[in-house]
Structure 1
């Protein structure tokens, strides 16, 4: 089963997350030939972490 995990260092506003979580699994399903309901997705945006 394909699994989509997206981590980004960019801030994503609340209005942007739902479209991403619906469109990206559709793309993975289309490319892999699997049903969309078999493509779970996890999305993590920037959370303010720093390195020092």
Structure 2
């Protein structure tokens, strides 16, 4: 259940960022692809950082 609340919180944060950056929703293709790239990189970096710190 915790993961659903985290997902909702991140979604709300992204919505606020879209508003602050004046990006229309759904995002234009370039903005959307940059966001997806950031998600993929972030997902891959977390295990690498955990391994380096342990």
TM-score, length-scaled by structure 1: 0.42
Greater relative contact order (CA < 8 Å, ≥ 6 in sequence): 1
Larger CA Rg, structure 1 vs 2: 2
